[in-house]
Structure 1
Amino acid sequence: MYATTIDPVSAYQRVGVETGVESANPHKLILMLFEGAQEALFKARIHIKHNEIAKKGEMLSKAIMIIDHGLKASLDTNAGGELALHLQALYDYMANRLLTANLKNDIEIIDEISGLLNELYGAWKAIENTTELRT
């Protein structure tokens, strides 16, 4: 009856993410950034395996944006001191490695960065659990 170019599944997912962001505390927002980067890396792997170069590039660019403009941008080097500076350097390293992965279609590099993100995600998750126990 109605002609539409809107993908209902994408619209539903977008609403779900927007709702999650609106109701999330800063700690949860960081976890969501890690999850988004991991999802983009997962999809990039699939696109490499299927020789879908443009889509692979989009997903790696998305992961880099999340790392640079989400995780790295959220660091407070004044309050975080040396730890924040080390994380900043690590995020720079991750972004540069993902650029290389994009140029070389290198799944091993993607796996390396995914592993680093997973380690950091686990640390953030542990902090969340500790905070919940205190309240």
Structure 2
Amino acid sequence: MHKGAMKAYGAATIDEQVATASPHRLIVMLFDGAIKSINLAKFHLQQGNIAAKGESISKAIAIIEEGLRLSLDKQIGGEIVNNLDSLYEYAAYQLMLANLHNRVELLDEVLLLLNQLKLSWESIDPRLQISPQSSEKLPELNNLSFGRA
């Protein structure tokens, strides 16, 4: 398949996913995009492709600043929103330093942070939450063990 066609297909697929995604899913997609961009930046840094590394880091910073940070509702979010805002600001700053000084360990630090935040966000997916009324109807779910103590 032609490279341009693949790129267009990818953009169309992303556009479709965004158009049909819940607000919760959109945040997960932002995390995925930032994580992918940072992984690409690491690859480019290791290959010595400094220009592509810079583009990938810039994309990750834009996702964090213009996606994740702007999605925070500071009017009703309280302390958790302020903490997330600080974490996103920190992540963007660390990415800027990683870009300026070609420091892969800073990229790894931000990857760890974003992956942990993404996992936390995924764990509160409203589609997976069971209301008290529905859990009464499904007693077998109350007794499931997932191998955790």
Q: For 1:133 and 1:117, how far apart are their aligned partners in 2?
A: 23
**Are positions 1:32 and 2:26 aligned together?**
no
Q: For 1:69 and 1:48, how far apart are their aligned partners in 2?
A: 24
Shift of 1:133: 3.3
Partner of 2:20: 23
Q: For 1:87 and 1:40, how far apart are their aligned partners in 2?
A: 20
AA aligned opposite 1:133: Q
Q: For 2:129 and 2:67, how far apart are their aligned partners in 1?
A: 27
**Are positions 1:48 and 2:35 aligned together?**
no
Higher helix proportion, which one? 1
Q: For 1:133 and 1:108, how far apart are their aligned partners in 2?
A: 36
Partner of 1:132: 128
Q: Which runs of 5+ in 2 are unaligned?
A: 132-149
TM-score by length of 2: 0.84
Higher RCO, 1 or 2 (CA under 8 Å, sep at least 6)?
Answer: 1
Partner of 1:74: 71
AA aligned opposite 2:24: H
Q: For 2:29 and 2:77, how far apart are their aligned partners in 1?
A: 20
**Are positions 1:105 and 2:87 aligned together?**
no
Q: Which runs of 5+ in 1 are unaligned?
A: none
Shift of 1:49: 0.5
RMSD, aligned α-carbons = 1.4
AA aligned opposite 1:82: E
Percent of aligned pairs sharing the same letter: 41
Shift of 1:44: 0.2
AA aligned opposite 1:71: L
**Are positions 1:12 and 2:15 aligned together?**
no
Q: For 1:58 and 1:52, how far apart are their aligned partners in 2?
A: 10
Q: For 1:125 and 1:47, how far apart are their aligned partners in 2?
A: 29
After the TM superposition, list the runs of 4 or more consecutive aligned residues in structure 1 that deviate by more than 6 angstroms.
Answer: none
TM-score by length of 1: 0.92
